[in-house]
Every structure is written in C-alpha cells, then in structure tokens.
Amino acid sequence: MSSATDTSPSAAPASAAPALDVARLRADFPILGEHVNGRPLVYLDSAATSQKPRQVLQAEYDFLTHANAAVHRGAHTLAAEATDLFEDAREAVASFVGARAEELVWTSGATMGLNLLAYAIGNATAGRGAPASARFALQPGDEIVTTAIEHHANLIPWQELAARTGAVLRHIPAHDDGTLDLDAAASLIGARTRVVAFTHVSNVLGIVNPVTELVALAREVGALTVLDACQSAPHLPLDLQGLGVDFAVFSGHKMLGPYGVGGLYGRSELLDALPPFLTGGSMITTVTLDHAEYLPAPQRFEAGTQPVGPAIGLAAAVRYLDGVGLDAIHAHEKALAARMRDGLVGIPGIRLLGDAEGVERVGLWSFDVDGVHAHDAGQFLDDRGIAVRVGHHCAAPLHRRYGMTASVRASASLYNTVDEIDAFVDAVRGIRGYFGVES
C-alpha cells in the first residue's frame, strides 16, 4: 500500500562537494519563485521558519493518501504500515542528530520539549514516578542555571520550575560581543547546581556557543545539561551523544520540516527514570480505575495522538539535509554570513549584535538601525520583497542587555544566494535615507 517518496535533493551529488549548486537546490522549493509586492521574494527569515522542499511536502502527502491510519493502535494492515513509517521516521531523525531511536521523543516542537522536561522534573520533585525519579527532585535552594541570551522557551519553563520547587534560577552573563562569560559560568555552576540549560546557537546573535566547556562544568558538579539545538540542527553537523549533553530539543519547522513536530533527545537511562508529563492513551502498560503503569521511553512521553504525518515529513527533511551535506551547508551559510556582515558594517547607523571576532557562527545577523524602529525597517524591506524578522525574537532580556527593545534579524539558509545577500544589503543602505534620519 505504500508509495515510495523521493526525498533526495535535486542537487545531491554522487559524492560530497565543497560548494552547493544553489540554483538547482532552489528548484526544490516552490515558494522561492513567488513575488512579494511586485518583487522577487528574498527570504531571509529561516531562523523563524524554514521553507520546505517539494520532497518534504510529497512525503507527508504520500502518507496521507496511501497509509493514513492511527499508529500503535490498530491491528489492520494500514495501521501497521503507518506505524512502520512513523517509527522509521524516528530512526531517521534520531540518527540525524546523533542519537538512538529510543532516545527521541516526538513533541510539537522545542517549546513543548522544554516544558515537558521542566514539568517532568517538577513531577519528580512532587514524589511522582518510580524510585529512580528521585534523582531529579529539586530542593529549596537548589540551582538551575541558564544564560542571559536564551530564547524565552529555554527561560520561562525554568522560571516556573524554580517557582514551584523553591529552586534558585541563575544566569550566565554575556560579554558585549555576545560570547558567554565562561569565567562567570565557572563561578555560577557549583555544588547546588542541578540543571544547566543553554542554547547551542543564539537565535539573536548567531554565535555557536561552547557546548564542550559548559558540559564539562556541569559534569564536575553532577548537574544535568539541556541543549536548545533549534538553530544548530539545520545548519551544523549535530552529534548529541558526542557533545555529551543529557537532553536536547529541536523543532522541525526550522529544519525544512513541517510545523507541529520536533524532538526531545534524552539519554536512555534518564528518560526511563523521568516521570511522565502528559498522560492518557498509548503511554501505559496497565490501567485500573485507581492506578496506572507507564511504558518506558520514548512512548512514556507520547500520550494521545501523535504528529504522524509531520514526523514522516521531518524524516524526509533530514534525509534532504543529509543528501546535501551539513558540512557543505555550513560552509555555504558561513560565507553568506561573512558577506552580509561585510556589507552591513559599511553602512552608517547600523549596529550589529554579536559581532564577535574568531567565533563560529551560522548565517544570521541581528542589527539596529539608528533612528529607525525595527518594525519600520522591516516594512521598508518587505516593500522590496525582502522577508526578515523584526522584534525581540523571543529574547527580550538579551535585547535589554543591549539597551533596545527590538532589532532586525536576517537569517540565511542553504537556498539563499550571494545575489540575495547583496540585494538585502543594498536595501538596508536605503533605510535611514528613506526615513530622513541620515546624518
């Protein structure tokens, strides 16, 4: 009953190539041929949501038209095939991030994954779960450490957990150039630290953070590490086991995949020890009117109907990224970031955030336009067919750190071209003059 789906990119070469054939890749993304306000679309908002290649769209369509059925429930042929596709998708996505299938919990996205983890730890603190769950319990005065550059999704769940348990929330500060203060981190992470949660790549600064050093500091004191990999999974080769983190999250819609699906990675022995967060069907072994026993991970955390079609689409997305090659993608996007920076720093009145020297980064820059609100700058660019993000990018504390409430963010992906970067820089050059604030 199944229908084979081609998930390979049009530009996939027989062997790894040092450069991308971007023109051929773009043919896989129908939306990139659109026009906005009479101009060819220049899409530089991939950090918010990436565009989807036809291979991803086709994979989800093929499932819905040839194998649509409830997974892990029915005994009929269609249900068995749907379950196989669903679990094959888990294998593919887990392998892509350097994990085993049993270490990957399907979620609706990174926000759901982080909330799941924080609430599960809270349930352990409340005495729920097996005896092994006690290792996660927090006591008043225990500490949760995050950083000053986090997306709200990796900040607010920990604020709430601290409020519920009496734990203390502490924050690793950032230097003016956007790099984390590792000396401060070493002094903050201590005997009372139980959780260290941090982003792999800042969604505002684009800087790749020092995972190895932070994991080492946490391990010295026996603290759990939680990695937000939303902005790294689509752009860098990712090996979560190799990085040594205990947990990690990512979102499908930022990595060429569908909306409504993402993953929570956790080391098997930790996931199996955590008490569940959401409860209901499909995550139990035995239920009486007064008691329930739960399945091991990952099914323990997958109550109710799962995002089957989106998961299959996400598997197609990671196969696509693998076909292009993460090393080639990173090199291409790094070159676009350098070209973007070279253009922006030469424009009077433009202030780049996170303009640190000698650090690894992805193809993302946020900036302030002197005398022009970010939303006005964004509208000016949109009028010219250029899609960027404006606002605080769900990182309000970081913007306050830089004395602002909003910035403009341009983020590139594998399908962007040098010509698009040049068109973007040329448009930015005209913003202040248009609003009459040029010095």
C-beta of residue 28 within 8 angstroms of C-beta of residue 413: no
Backbone region of residue 152 per phi and psi (left: phi > 0; alpha: psi in -120 to 50; beta: other values): alpha
Residue 217 CA to residue 187 CA, distance in Å, equals 10
In 242-401, the DSSP E strands lie at: 247-251, 262-266, 284-287, 292-294, 350-353, 364-369, 386-387, 389-391
In 3D space, the residue among 112, 174, 235, 214 whose CA is nearest the CA of residue 395 turns out to be 174
Residues designated as active site? 394
* Angle value at C-alpha 238, between 278 and 356, nearest 5 degrees: 110
Name the DSSP class of 104.
Answer: E
**Residue 321 in tokens:** 């990224």
Q: Give the DSSP H or E segment for 35.
A: strand 35-36
Please give the Cα distance from 432 to 439 (Å, whole number): 9
Q: Which of 143, 152, 155 is nearest to 185 (CA)?
A: 143
Do 426 and 386 contact (CB within 8 A), yes or no? no
Q: Specify the amino acid at residue 190.
A: G
Specify whether the CB–CB gap between 142 and 168 falls below 8 A.
Answer: yes
What's the chain's length in residues? 439
Report which secondary-structure segment, H or E, holds 105.
strand 104-107
Amino acid at 358: G
Angstrom distance (rounded) from CA 240 to CA 247:
8
